[in-house]
Chains A and B, each alone.
Chain A
Amino acid sequence: MNSYLAGILIGVFMIAAYYFSGEGLGASGALKAVVVTAVNDVNHDYAKEAHFFAKRVANEEQSPIKSWLIFEIIGVIAGAIISAALAGRLKLEIGKGMRITNRSRLIFALIGGILFGVGSQLGRGCTSGMVMSGMGVLSLSGFIGLVAIFGGGYVIAYFFRKLWI
């Protein structure tokens, strides 16, 4: 699909998200909800006290997993599968650069994931949630995130080039 068209359509869906639910599209929040729910289910007393979890588990009636973001992510999963199926891109594989092995790629993916997990919590969002949705409402935080992620990326890209090219 034409990149600009995809972008414009994503923008339209983001507007819809704000129009209906009052919040923007996001992703890392859903992963966080998974962690919060799991910890809460295993040890609620700890979750109640610990600063990281307290606010989210305070309401005893409502599970932290029942949030708009989770329903959105489930939709994202469905949408991605549908698109891939229609285009014949549904297959088990490992995407990687040509100069490293599959094993290395998986190790790096894990490390990268861990870093992103930490970074998104500290930065209060990931690229979709904080940056893209933030830019949509003209929030300064979104633009700071944009500069940090992309700017930072360009600076360090050279050192990781062997992974990709």
Chain B
Amino acid sequence: MGPLFPLGTIGEEFNMLIGFFIGIGFGFLLEAAGFTNTRKLAGVFYGYDFVVLKVFFSAAITAAIGLYLMNHYGLIEMDAIFYPKTFWIPTLIGGLIMAFGFLIGGFCPGTSICAAVTGKIDAMVFVLGAIIGIFGYAMTYEPLWENLRNSGKMGEVNIADWMGISDGLFILLMTIVAAIMFFAVTRIQSKVTSKRDYQL
């Protein structure tokens, strides 16, 4: 039964090795989906390429369904898995800052690393910027950021619980909404790109 490392079924070294192979899969798929192309990434905000939404939601839904079913059939123990604590204030504000970062920089950390290693100079600069940003944040942490970062503490909150519905229902609703959205954005994309050539 998973998760194998926290339950002691596999050792630390083996766990790291598996992490490496999982990383290969992730990196390969990000590149194959075209996420090293910064204009494709920005396309989600301008309507000419919705690849980000499609990949993102497909991945999240697949994982949510898979983990839920595995937990139900006893293949994995969700209680032993890392579960992020919800701090709604810094997450909201951090998210807005990241939105700026995305639109100005054209990447997010994961895609920027993929792009940087495949030769995109702008991505390399982005990674450098991110490291500078983290460093700057770290050095000014106590006076500037610490209180903000720990505000809005809600503990580990499951969104289905928060909404008062069951996990299964939430997954179903999320998937249906996503399916409708996929249909809608596909239409929008063909309309927008038929007007101009975006040379992706």
Contact = CB atoms under 8 A, between A and B. Distances in A.
A80 interface: yes
B108 A136 contact: no
Contacts of A145: 91, 94-95
A39 B5 CA distance: 29
B91 A7 contact: no
B136 A95 contact: no
Given A75-B22, A77-B113, A139 B84 contact: yes
Contact of B60 (A6, A122, A132): A132
Contacts, number: 515
Contacts of A112: 100-107, 126, 129
B130 A144 contact: no
Main DSSP-derived SS at the B contact region? helix
Contacts of B26: 10, 13, 25, 72, 75-76, 79
Interface in B30-70: 30-33, 36-39, 42-46, 48, 51, 54-64, 66-68, 70
B22 to A, nearest CB: 5
Given A72-B20, A124-B91, A140 B62 contact: no
B24 interface: yes
Contacts of B62: 7-8, 10-12, 14-15
Interface string A108-145: 11111111111111111111111111111111111111
Task: Give the size category of B's interface with A.
Answer: 35 or more
Chain A binding surface, main DSSP class = helix
A92 B33 CA distance: 19
B119 A119 contact: no
Contacts of B127: 31, 113
Nearest to B118: A84
A113 B29 contact: no
A122 B101 contact: no
A142 B84 contact: yes
A48 interface: no
A82 B24 contact: yes
Interface string A12-44: 111111111111111110111011100100000
Interface string B105-135: 1111110111101111111011111111111
Contacts of A61: none
A77 B61 CA distance: 25
Given A51-B146, A141-B87, A149-B102, A113 B112 contact: yes
B108 A126 contact: yes
Contact of A22 (B27, B81, B108): B81
